[in-house]
Structure 1
Amino acid sequence: MANSALNPPILMLDLHAQHAPIHAELEAALHHCLKESSFIQGPAVGAFAQALSQHLGISHVVPCANGTDALQLALMSLRLPPGSEVLVPAFTYVATLEAAAILGLVPVVVDVLPNTFMLDPKAVEAALTPRTGAIIAVHLFGQCADLESLRRIADKNNIALIEDNAQSIGATFTTRSGETWVAGAVGEVGTTSFFPSKNLGAMGDGGALFTQDASRAELLRQLANHGQIRKYQHEYIGLNSRLDTMQAALLQVKLRYLNQWTSARQHVAAQYDAAFTGMAGVHTPARDPRSTHVFHQYTLRVTEAGCRAALQQHLLAKGVPSVVYYPLPVHLQPAYHYLGYRTGQFPVAEHLCQTVLSLPIHPTLVPEQVAYITDAVKCFF
């Protein structure tokens, strides 16, 4: 089957197709915002925050302008002394380090687990010093980091745990005792992004913070609004970081469909698994049995690092897009050379950057498209 014969063509993310069935609802939400004309901190912002709080079972949701701001605000709420160390994974998007560095904190890079790609708790313990103030756990590609181990380490050492939940909204983690923890609700603060490509994406930028602590939630609201405790009274140095009213209204519509879209992503992942499990040349995404997986990405590992580029070119020639998340580990990014890390220091992350490849996964992929993608991968090996 040629990709040219597929209608629609295969995309990494097809927002047009995803929005089409709910177009009238989205349009009505925008029309209401235009009629109301309360474009900054309008009623839709609070309504969306309440709806998301109920959906996730998290006590407090504090909207903000984007996911990077959310990370920065989370760290600001900890009031760490300048020069405090923040442990971050070597395999992550650069915003994880950026949020710490811009506040005068020191990102301390930690290697990741080779199967789930997330923070290695043993490496975290080895990286602790008297200056450590926080751990940022990134829930990558759709499942949870080892929350139980990281929460234990944080508590034992009296340091904060922040969860970057931009890619795993709605995922859960089951502890050894049988408790179910919601991603974003375990740390002192959880953060998320509503960037359009996320599982719950806006039509522009947006973000939010999660906490179970009412006093911290109030502090986060103040920090996100110029540090105001009331109008024109600024108790703290803060940010101007607000979720736009129209984006909140659109997100509230899309939230109604998040579970449906998650199920569709999981169905596509199951089809990929059935096709690729046991196949020579690639490893399917590992699952932590304690975590659910909402599949922000479906990321293969190519067995031989040198053949990923050839596979990607082969897929492109067949009309199948793919993306490398991430091509360069954060400790080797030029902006962070000042931290003094060198090539070879975090071998797991460096190897992943040479071998991972993400395939299309979104709620509107149809079985014929998935079959075409799997056949294209198989005929390469």
Structure 2
Amino acid sequence: MQFIDLRAQYDQIEKDVNDRIHAVLKHGQYINGPEVRELEQRLADFAGTPHCIGAASGTGALLMAMMALGISSGDEVITSPFSFVATAETIALLGAVPVFVDIQADTCNIDPSLIEAAITDRTKAIMAVSLFGQCADFDAINAIARRHGLPVIEDAAQSFGATSKGRKSCNLTTIGCTSFFPSKPLGCYGDGGACFTADEALATRMREIREHGQDRRYHHPRLGINGRLDSLQAAVLLAKLPLFPGEIEKRRTIGARYTQALAHDRITTPVVRPHNTSVYSQYTIRVGDRNALKEALRDQRIPTAVHYPVPLHHQPVFRRPDAHLPVSDEASAHVLSLPMHPYLTHEEIHRVATAVRETV
């Protein structure tokens, strides 16, 4: 059993992937080729935003977004401690300070009720993570941001394709950033990412930033990075896009089957809010003895993962000894992600759920 089965997906689109890659090899425009422009338009249409800016990675997309917003040394950015390190890493790389706010116990997304108390005169943005495939509560977050004149960035590395009140992830905030890392719901065959915005000025800045800050060849009005999405990766994503809506529905169906099969008072299954849909980038449960369950499943050749075993406020590079973030601490001690991809069979779901229930 695969934790994420990329080969099963490739078998569905092998000819289109190969044809598109060969087209890039023939025209030789490996950087900023026509595939990148086509992909950006199609992703913008999918998300419902006017502007999509391809990026070399999801991490690069976050960096580009904050650079476009002018975040720099000494500024503060409010974010979640229960996330992959890139969320806070990009803030710190700009010399700014990540200010961690605890999460909701049921969704593991940032708790909007705690954000306002963390705002200071140095706060320059709110970066909310849409974790495990479900959008954060952006109605509440955006309302707080408006009161304080702050931009909001959605770290949508795990939620591209999800919706909140009918609107797509990456079309809910000032800027949305996603990742196309191979294991993501929409992944390429290497690193890739994108930024989305309705603000034309911000879109222009991000396009310049990803090209070393240039607005035309050898003319650099701002600092930038090498943040471009490769034509080959864009070609792979274009081949995958026709499958993506159907794969989202399969993920939702598999998530619902898992939740039904794992109903037990000692297993906490994911909660999806009524106005949300999830793309289940991970199907993450919580149990009392995570390590015992992980070992038992390993013995039965069922792969698992822990997202995330150490919250960011306990990482050596960000350690906050005085931080009181109990919900994040509790989640880190008990979460376990089960196999999740669109090609899981009924038999595999039953096998995983039975093994989890019997062990618990």
Amino acid at match of 2:312: V
Q: Counterpart in 1 of 2:333?
A: 354
| Offset from partner CA, 1:268-307 (integer Å, 9 cap, x none) | 1111111112x131111011112111111111011x2xx1
Out of 349, 352, 357, the residue aligned to residue 373 of structure 1 is 352
| Offset from partner CA, 1:217-239 (integer Å, 9 cap, x none) | 11110011010011010000000
Aligned 1:179-328 pairs, distance under 5 A: 180-277=166-263, 279-302=264-287, 304=288, 307-328=289-310
1:75 shift after superposition: 0.4
What CA distance in whole angstroms lies between the structure 1 residues aligned with 2:120 and 2:47?
34
1:344 shift after superposition: 6.3
Amino acid at match of 2:357: K
Secondary structure (helix, strand or coil) at the match of 1:68 reads helix
Query: Given that residues 3 and 338 in structure 2 are in contact (C-alpha distance below 8 angstroms), is that contact kept between their aligned partners in structure 1?
Result: yes
Query: Given that residues 72 and 94 in structure 2 are in contact (C-alpha distance below 8 angstroms), is that contact kept between their aligned partners in structure 1?
Result: no
1:21 shift after superposition: 1.4
Amino acid at match of 1:56: A
Secondary structure (helix, strand or coil) at the match of 2:307 reads coil
| Offset from partner CA, 1:113-141 (integer Å, 9 cap, x none) | 10100111111111111111100010001
Aligned 1:37-186 pairs, distance under 5 A: 37-174=28-165, 180-186=166-172
Query: Are 1:13 and 2:13 counterparts?
Result: no
* Identity within the alignment, %: 41
Q: Counterpart in 1 of 2:317?
A: 335
Secondary structure (helix, strand or coil) at the match of 1:235 reads coil
1:188 shift after superposition: 1.4
What CA distance in whole angstroms lies between the structure 2 residues aligned with 1:344 and 1:223?
34
Amino acid at match of 2:11: A
TM-score, structure 2 as length reference: 0.98
What CA distance in whole angstroms lies between the structure 2 residues aligned with 1:81 and 1:34?
39
| Offset from partner CA, 1:312-352 (integer Å, 9 cap, x none) | 00001011111110000000101113xxx127611000000
1:24 shift after superposition: 0.7
Query: Given that residues 298 and 358 in structure 1 are in contact (C-alpha distance below 8 angstroms), is that contact kept between their aligned partners in structure 2?
Result: yes
What CA distance in whole angstroms lies between the structure 1 residues aligned with 2:97 and 2:46?
35
Secondary structure (helix, strand or coil) at the match of 1:257 reads helix
Secondary structure (helix, strand or coil) at the match of 2:61 reads helix
Query: Given that residues 258 and 353 in structure 2 are in contact (C-alpha distance below 8 angstroms), is that contact kept between their aligned partners in structure 1?
Result: yes
What CA distance in whole angstroms lies between the structure 1 residues aligned with 2:301 and 2:266?
21
1:80 shift after superposition: 2.9
Amino acid at match of 1:370: I
Most deviating of 180-189 and 321-330:
180-189
Query: Given that residues 332 and 343 in structure 1 are in contact (C-alpha distance below 8 angstroms), is that contact kept between their aligned partners in structure 2?
Result: no
Aligned length: 360
**Which runs of structure 1 show a deviation greater than 2 angstroms over 4 or more consecutive aligned residues?**
none
Secondary structure (helix, strand or coil) at the match of 2:154 reads strand
Query: Given that residues 47 and 170 in structure 2 are in contact (C-alpha distance below 8 angstroms), is that contact kept between their aligned partners in structure 1?
Result: no
Q: Counterpart in 2 of 1:7?
A: none
Amino acid at match of 1:334: P
What CA distance in whole angstroms lies between the structure 2 residues aligned with 1:251 and 1:217?
21
Amino acid at match of 1:140: L
What CA distance in whole angstroms lies between the structure 1 residues aligned with 2:323 and 2:2?
35
Amino acid at match of 1:287: V
Q: 1:54 to 1:344 in 2, by over 3 A?
A: closer
What CA distance in whole angstroms lies between the structure 2 residues aligned with 1:66 and 1:16?
22
Amino acid at match of 2:355: A
Unpaired runs of at least 5, structure 1: 1-9, 175-179
Unpaired runs of at least 5, structure 2: none
Q: Counterpart in 2 of 1:34?
A: 25
Query: Given that residues 344 and 350 in structure 1 are in contact (C-alpha distance below 8 angstroms), is that contact kept between their aligned partners in structure 2?
Result: no
Q: 1:173 to 1:156 in 2, by over 3 A?
A: same
What CA distance in whole angstroms lies between the structure 2 residues aligned with 1:11 and 1:103?
38
What CA distance in whole angstroms lies between the structure 2 residues aligned with 1:188 and 1:287?
24
Secondary structure (helix, strand or coil) at the match of 2:285 reads strand
What CA distance in whole angstroms lies between the structure 2 residues aligned with 1:56 and 1:210?
8
Amino acid at match of 2:44: S
